[in-house]
Structure 1
Amino acid sequence: MNKINWVIIACILVSVTFWLADPTESGTQYLAFSTSNLLNGRIWTLVTALFLHADILHLAGNMIFLFAFGNALEKEMGARKTYLSFFMGGVLALIFGVFFYNPNALLVGASAAIFTLTAVVLLVKPLNFSFIFFMPLGLVAIIYIIYNILAVQTGAEGNVAYFSHFIGFAVGIPLGVIWSKKLVRNLLITVGLLILYLFIIWILTPFLLQLLGLAIL
Structure 2
Amino acid sequence: MASKDSVFASPSMVIIALCTLSFFLEMIPGIGDVYYSIFYFDPIYLVTRPWTLVTYMFLHNGLFHLLFNMLVLYFFGTALERRIGNRQLLAIFFTAGVLSAIGYTFLSQPIFNISPGPMVGASGAIYGVFAALTILEPDIRVYVYFVPMKLKHALVLFALFDFLMVNSSDMIAHTAHLSGLFVGLYMGFRIKKIEENLRPGYIGRW
**TM category, shorter:** 0.7 to 0.9
Q: How does 1:34-183 map to 2 (within 5 A)?
A: 34-39=42-47, 41-99=48-106, 100=108, 102=115, 105-130=117-142, 134-152=148-166, 155-180=167-192, 181=195
Identical pairs, percent: 30
Comparing 106-115 with 171-180, greater Cα deviation is found at 171-180
**Structure 2 match to 1:12:** 20
- The farther-off stretch of 76-85 and 141-150 is 141-150
Deviations for 1:48-97, whole angstroms, at most 9, x for unmatched residues?
10010010011111111111111111111111111100000000111232
Q: Say which one has the larger Rg.
A: 1
- Distance apart, 1:172 and its partner CA: 1.1
The count of aligned residue pairs is: 177
- Mapped partners of 1:19, 1:143: distance in 2: 34
Once residues 15 and 41 of structure 2 are traced to their aligned partners in structure 1, the CA distance between those partners, rounded to angstroms, is 18
Shift of 1:23: 4.5
Contact map agreement 2:103 2:175 (CA 8 A) in 1 = no
CA contact under 8 A between 1:127 and 1:138: conserved in structure 2? Answer: yes
- Which one-letter code corresponds to 1:129 in the other structure? R
Q: Specify the SS of the correspondent of 1:42.
A: coil
| Displacement of 1:131 | 7.0
Higher helix share: 1
> How far is the alpha carbon of 1:174 from its aligned partner?
1.5
Output the amino acid matched with 1:63.
Answer: M
1:78-128 Cα deviation digits (max 9, x unpaired): 11111100000000111232122646x211000000111111111111122
Q: Work out the CA distance in 2 between the residues paired with 1:15 and 1:73.
A: 25
Structure 1: gaps (5+ residues): 183-217
- CA distance in 2 between counterparts of 1:10 and 1:141 reads 26
Q: TM-score with structure 2 length normalisation?
A: 0.77
- 1:29, distance to aligned residue in structure 2 (A): 2.4
Which amino acid is the alignment partner of residue 10 of structure 1? L
Tell me the residue number matched to 1:32.
40
- After superposition, the C-alpha distances for 1:139-164 in whole angstroms (9 at most, x for unaligned) are 33222212212222xx4342100001
Give ranges in structure 2 of 5+ residues lacking alignment: 1-6, 109-113, 197-206
Contact 2:25 2:32 in 1 (8 A): no
Deviation of 1:6 after TM superposition, in Å, equals 0.6
Cα distance in 2 between the residues matched to 1:44 and 1:78: 26
Q: Structure 2: how far apart are the matches of 1:72 and 1:144? A: 19
Deviation of 1:169 after TM superposition, in Å, equals 0.7
3-state SS of paired residue (2:61)? coil
Q: Does structure 2 retain, via aligned residues, the 8 Å contact 1:29–1:37? A: no
Q: TM-score, normalised by structure 1?
A: 0.73
In 2: Cα distance, 1:157 partner to 1:119 partner: 25
CA RMSD of aligned residues (A): 2.2
3-state SS in 2 of match to 1:20: coil
- Tell me: CA distance 1:142–1:157, structure 2 relative to 1, closer, same or farther (3 Å): farther
